[in-house]
Amino acid sequence: MKRHLISAADLSRDDAVLILDTAEEMARVADRPIKKLPTLRGRTVVNLFFEDSTRTRISFEAAAKRLSADVINFSAKGSSVSKGESLKDTALTLEAMGADAVVIRHHDSGAPHRLATSGWIGGSVINAGDGTHEHPTQALLDAFTMRRRLAGGEGDLNGCRITIVGDILHSRVARSNVHLLTTLGAEVTLVAPPTLVPVGVGNWPCEVSYDLDAVLAKSDAVMMLRVQRERMNAAFFPTEREYARRYGLDGDRMARMPEHAVVMHPGPMNRGMEITAEVADSPRCTAVEQVTNGVSIRMAVMYLLLGGNEPALTTSSTEENK
């Protein structure tokens, strides 16, 4: 594995499977009376959040604490960062405090990449979501959830048919999932109104469809993405009602999915928009499970990056062009 986790594209199949396998072991810790491991004792993990995301932050925080790392939460709001301090100066401060890893959430695509390659800090950088670029730990926890539900909790996702529905254009979750799921052997189909599919998507290793109903029956998992209501104002779609009608998942549509198929959502959900309450609350919806699995995945990532004097060794079979 590389020293940083910036993009799901950086993970080889073996890296990804190792993370998922490690997360399975981490998940067992949650069932114990003492949900803590001494493994990262003395390590410092900084949660550097330039964007509000309580859910993601507490997931990383719980993961780091279960591994006994010291956690420093650095929120840009109300700090010197909001007063114009640059990412560089913030990074130098964290370096001076001896951060072994920086978990960064940033509104700018590429900020974690910049942090990792600029020489500002020496520790590992873990991307907790950057702009509209990537959110690799989300993709890993999604893959983990799918592997448990669809592939017996072992190996990869070879042959699984995954449909991702919603605002692909602005979704870091979609980007990371396309990379990771295809690395794991799954077949990915993106479904969205054409306005919410990026120009250049033709180069992605997946199919694109504008018709949700046409792909539902051929899906082992349907991942609904959050669609921000503000997009309506930028004319990405005419009305919420029309969006929900064409691209929302309701009970009727869910009934047309194969019996074993699951519904996923990275949260937070817009009930009534991309997903109805009936679907969200059904046992086929894994949203809550995904949150639980998020902690295990983040523990696994932190352990594999920080658990030794260098990241875990795996064969690097990533594509040459990455």
Residue 139 is inside which H or E element, if any? helix 136-150
Alpha carbon distance 92, 111 (integer Å): 15
Within 226-285, which residues bind another protein (CB under 8 A)? none
Tokens of 151: 């592939």
Nearer to another protein by Cβ, of 141 and 169: the residue is: 169
Within 91-110, which residues bind another protein (CB under 8 A)? 106-110
Contact predicate 180/11, CB 8 Å: yes
DSSP state of 229: G
How near is the Cβ of 176 to another protein at its closest, in Å?
Answer: 10
Residue with tokens 């702009």: 131
How near is the Cβ of 84 to another protein at its closest, in Å?
Answer: 10
* Binding range to another protein, per CB under 8 A, among 126-134, 139-147, 265-273, 274-282: 126-134
Q: Provide the terminal-to-terminal Cα distance of the chain, rounded to the nearest Å.
A: 14
194 binds another protein (CB under 8 A): no
Size of the site for another protein (CB under 8 A): 51
How near is the Cβ of 209 to another protein at its closest, in Å?
Answer: 17
CA distances from residue 259 to 4, 163, 283, 284 in whole angstroms, order as listed: 39, 15, 12, 9
Alpha carbon distance 284, 197 (integer Å): 27
Q: What angle do CA 4, 9, 14 make, to 5 degrees?
A: 80
130 binds another protein (CB under 8 A): yes
154 binds another protein (CB under 8 A): no
220 binds another protein (CB under 8 A): no
36 binds another protein (CB under 8 A): yes
Collapsing DSSP to helix, strand or coil, 44 comes out as strand
How near is the Cβ of 24 to another protein at its closest, in Å?
Answer: 8
* Binding range to another protein, per CB under 8 A, among 72-80, 194-202, 212-220, 274-282: 194-202
Nearer to another protein by Cβ, of 258 and 308: the residue is: 308
113 binds another protein (CB under 8 A): yes
37 binds another protein (CB under 8 A): yes
What are the CB-based long-range contacts (under 8 Å, 24+) for 55-60?
55/267, 55/268, 55/291, 56/105, 56/128, 56/129, 57/105, 57/128, 59/291, 59/294, 59/295, 59/298, 60/103, 60/126, 60/128, 60/137, 60/298
Site string for another protein, 283-322 (x = CB under 8 A): --------------------xxxxxxxxxxx---------
How near is the Cβ of 73 to another protein at its closest, in Å?
Answer: 20
Which of 147, 149, 175, 226 binds another protein (CB under 8 A)? It is: 175
The DSSP secondary structure of 169-213, one letter per residue, reads TT-HHHHHHHHHHHHTT-EEEEE--GGGS-TTGGGSSSEEES-HH
Chain residues that interact with another protein, rule: CB under 8 A: 18, 21-22, 25, 28, 32-34, 36-39, 67, 86-88, 106-111, 113-114, 117-118, 130-134, 172, 175, 198-204, 303-313
